Structures are given as C-alpha cells and as structure tokens.
C-alpha cells in the first residue's frame, strides 16, 4: 500500500499545526510590523510629551548654531545663548543653568554649563570669572545663529548631548525645576556622558 494514500486520517492535526505556527509567527512578527507602520505613517502616535522644552530632532549641532571655539564635551551641557549680548535675561539664564548643574547632585559630573554670546559687559565678565569658575565661555556668530534659530528672541537655554547635538531648547519663561527634571530624565536614559 502507498503510504501517501494512508495519511488522510492524520490531516486534521497537520492543519492544526500550521494554524498554530501562523499564530506564533503573528504574535512575534505582528508587533514589529505594527510598530514599523506606526512610525512610517504616523498613526496612533501619543500626543502627550514628557519634556517641557522644544525638542530639536533634526540633528542640529552647536557648530551649526554658530557657537565658535566649542570643543566637543564628553558630558551633557547646559548652553545659554544670547544673540545681542548678555543682558538681564541672559544673566538670569546663566544663573539658572548653574543652579540646575548644582541641582543634579551626584550626576553633576555628567554635565557642564556654558554661555555663548556675541558680547558681554566687562563687569559681568569679571563677575563670571570670580563667581562661576567652571562656566565655559564661547563666542557666537550672530548671522549663523539667527539663520539657525529663525530669529528667536532673547536668551535661550539648550541641552546639548556629549556628541554636540542639540536636544532641547528653553526660553526665559521656563522654570528651572522643569529643565532639571528633563535633564535628569535624559541622564537616566543615556549611557553616554
């Protein structure tokens, strides 16, 4: 007798095995396909955000921002920029950046703070040397800065990753506690810096 012809009574378990295999594949591959489709076609994307600043998601670097003489840091950086000069709003942001850096506590070694301005009053520059010895100072090219930021007004505080990429931007109205929470969250998620 031919063994192929004797198999009809075994057909239902074989069909059941194929269905089980397809279900297992759908459970494993299905979520990946759904996630890829959600990313590509931007559907079911949550509206809520866990950060308080403006996300810079285009890969822009501090060099493209117009910051001169900035050496790549191995830490996260709180960078204050002022296109016109370091006036009252800039000075307030520099103070906030230092307080945030201090507020990091044991993670303070993973961050630094800096200021990039086109000009600074001489008395304030002297005050920074005495009271903010760890503050890094950079120059700022106004034309490049205004082109890169689309003429944002006033001083801005940026969170920069250890590779020099801009991550988040804050204006002078953002509370320091919110910026501190965002930076702590980034440090918690990051394996660099």
Q: How far is CA 60 from CA 117, 127, 165, 174, 192, in A?
A: 18, 31, 6, 22, 18
pLDDT digits (tens, 9 = 90+) for 105-161: 999 999 999 999 988 888 998 999 999 999 999 999 988 998 888 878 788 999 999
| Whether 86 contacts 94, CB under 8 Å | yes
Structure token digits, residue 156: 């801005």
Closest-CA residue to 182 (of 111, 93, 109, 94):
111
Model pLDDT for residues 155-165, shown as the tens digit of each residue: 899 999 999 99
3 — pLDDT class (breaks 50, 70, 90): low
Q: What is the pLDDT of residue 151?
A: 74
Instruction: Please name the residues in contact with 69: beta carbons below 8 A apart, sequence gap of 6 or more.
Output: 138, 139
Count other C-beta atoms under 10 Å from residue 180's C-beta. Answer: 18
Residue 75: what pLDDT?
Answer: 92
Which of 156, 164, 159 lies closest to 179 in space, CA to CA? 159
| Residue-wise pLDDT tens digits, 46-87 | 777 778 888 888 889 999 999 988 777 789 999 999 888 888
Q: How many CB atoms lie within 10 A of CB 177?
A: 13
Check residue 5 and give its pLDDT. Answer: 47
Element (H, E) at 37: helix 11-41
69, 102, 120, 130, 133 from 126: Cα distances, Å: 20, 21, 10, 6, 10
Closest CA to 112 of 135, 94, 130, 83: 135
Q: Which residues make beta-bridge pairs with 157? A: 80, 170
Nearest to 164 by CA among 94, 93, 74, 83: 74
pLDDT band at residue 9 under the 50/70/90 scheme: low
pLDDT of residue 15: 85
**For residue 65, which of 11, 143, 126, 4 has the smallest C-alpha distance?**
143
Instruction: Read off the pLDDT of residues 160-183 as tens digits, 9 standing for 90 and up.
Output: 999 999 999 999 889 999 999 999
* pLDDT at residue 111, rounded to an integer: 94
């Amino acid at each position: 007798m031919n063994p192929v012809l004797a198999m009809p009574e075994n057909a239902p378990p074989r069909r059941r095995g194929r269905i089980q295999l397809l279900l297992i594949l759908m459970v494993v591959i299905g979520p990946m396909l759904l996630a890829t489709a959600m990313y590509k076609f931007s559907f079911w994307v949550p509206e809520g955000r866990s950060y308080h600043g403006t996300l810079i998601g285009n890969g822009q670097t501090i060099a493209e921002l117009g910051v001169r003489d900035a050496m790549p840091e191995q830490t996260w950086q709180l960078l204050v920029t002022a296109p016109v000069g370091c006036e009252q709003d800039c000075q307030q942001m520099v103070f906030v950046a230092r307080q945030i850096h201090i507020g990091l506590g044991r993670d303070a070694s993973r961050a630094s703070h800096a200021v990039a301005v086109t000009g600074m009053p001489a008395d304030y520059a002297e005050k920074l040397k005495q009271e903010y010895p760890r503050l890094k100072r950079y120059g700022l090219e106004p034309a490049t800065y205004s082109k890169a930021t689309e003429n944002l007004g006033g001083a801005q505080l940026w969170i920069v990753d250890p590779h020099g990429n801009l991550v988040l931007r804050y204006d002078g109205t953002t509370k320091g506690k919110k910026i501190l929470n965002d930076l702590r969250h980034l440090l918690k998620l990051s394996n660099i810096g």
